[in-house]
Amino acid sequence: MRAPDAGAPGAQHDVARDHPEHAAILLAAGASTRLGHAKQLVEIDGEPLLRRVARALLATAPRELVIVLGHDADRMRDALMGLPLRTIVADDHASGLSASLRAGVAALDPHCAGALIALTDQPALDATHLLVLCDAWRAAPEHAVASAYADVLGVPALLPRAWFAEIAKLHGDVGARELLRAREGDVVAIAAPALERDLDTPTDLR
């Protein structure tokens, strides 16, 4: 259905639709058991990955940035000191990725039209790619926009508010990737081959 023209009698200009605002969620609750120490605090160019990704997300000018913490939350907060963001703790983070994702989405400002979701284990992630995701989403805010690498759709991804109810139903070690796969027809894919490399094991770190 076509929306009324802005100049038509009785029509109202829908600013939220024309200029949708996103929030950002950084999932950083994991214990990094395969790596043996907190991947969030691994340094690249002298900066912890957690802070590096948080700064990249802030560069997209989100309505807010929510960091979901769990394991060793106090040390994570120290690494984020001075940045304009909000931290929450997912007490059940050990039950799987879905717990952190649900907590992050539930904590968001109700006025945001979408959520830009990222992890801390992609060393190649930068603000340039995140800004491309945001631009693509604003062009079609009813769709999700996801990073495409290794023949999958994954995070970072920007999910529209209409998907939040489905996120609330996720359980176990299931994250945005499974939801993106299930709704592939509603996803705009942005190629990001460099993001295939993640940081999970000592071998990855080397």
Chain centroid to Cα 85, Å, comes to 14
| Residues 6 or more apart whose Cβ sits within 8 Å of residue 62 | 21, 22, 23, 24, 112, 116
Let me know: does 90 contact 103? Beta carbons within 8 Å. Answer: yes
pLDDT at site 109: 94
| Residues 6 or more apart whose Cβ sits within 8 Å of residue 1 | none
pLDDT at site 175: 86
Distance between CA atoms of residues 7 and 19, nearest Å: 18
pLDDT at site 32: 54
pLDDT at site 199: 63
Write out the chain's pLDDT in tens, 206 residues: 222 233 333 333 343 456 899 999 999 998 655 554 578 999 989 999 999 999 999 999 999 999 999 989 999 999 999 999 999 999 887 778 889 999 999 999 999 999 999 999 999 999 999 999 999 999 999 999 999 999 999 999 999 999 999 999 998 888 899 999 999 999 999 999 999 987 665 465 56
Distance between CA atoms of residues 73 and 68, nearest Å: 9
∠ at Cα 174 (181, 108), nearest 5°? 95
pLDDT at site 9: 36
Beta-sheet strands, E only, within 102-184: 114-119, 144-149, 152-160
The torsion angle over the Cα atoms of residues 111, 185, 134 and 151, rounded to 10 degrees, is 140
pLDDT at site 51: 98
Let me know: does 163 contact 176? Beta carbons within 8 Å. Answer: no
Instruction: Give the predicted TM-score (pTM) of the model.
Output: 0.87
pLDDT at site 94: 73
Closest by CA to 80, choosing from 71, 91, 90, 69, is 69
pLDDT at site 95: 79
